[in-house]
Copies of this chain bind each other. A is one copy, B any other.
Amino acid sequence: MTRSDAVEANNYIPKVPEHIECSIEKTLEVIGGKWSFLVLRELFEGTKRFGELQRQIRTISPKSLSDTLRHLEASGILERHAYPTVPVTVEYTLTPKGQDLHQILHDMKLWAAKWT
């Protein structure tokens, strides 16, 4: 399966009930995935490469990381840039849309600190 096929297939989108319209759902489709918020947290620090992310999110498998990155890319949260070096270099960078999630994630951190 190629990258574009996988995006077409639209897999790895967190399950959210259908037939119910609530825009909160749109946001949860982005940050509600099992690994999404960890990838976002890393990328808030700046552009990173695949291996870097894999090292910093130690328990993630390459498959899950790949799936998560593709999902976030398809959602317009991050951009993937490949450079034709040998071996290939790939960098992931948040888009403005992705950076705009920072406040929400931060507030979630504050809530947790206050109540747990």
Contact = CB atoms under 8 A, between A and B. Distances in A.
Interface of A: 15-20, 22-28, 31-32, 34-35, 37-38, 41, 57-60, 76, 97, 100-101, 103-105, 107-109, 111-116
Contacts of A25: 37, 112
Given A32-B32, A100-B115, A108 B24 contact: yes
A74 B89 CA distance: 46
A99 to B, nearest CB: 11
A28 B107 CA distance: 12
A110 to B, nearest CB: 9
A112 B31 CA distance: 12
13 contacts: A17-B34, A17-B38, A17-B57, A18-B59, A23-B109, A23-B113, A23-B116, A25-B37, A26-B112, A27-B109, A27-B111, A101-B111, A104-B107
Contacts of A104: 104, 107-108, 111
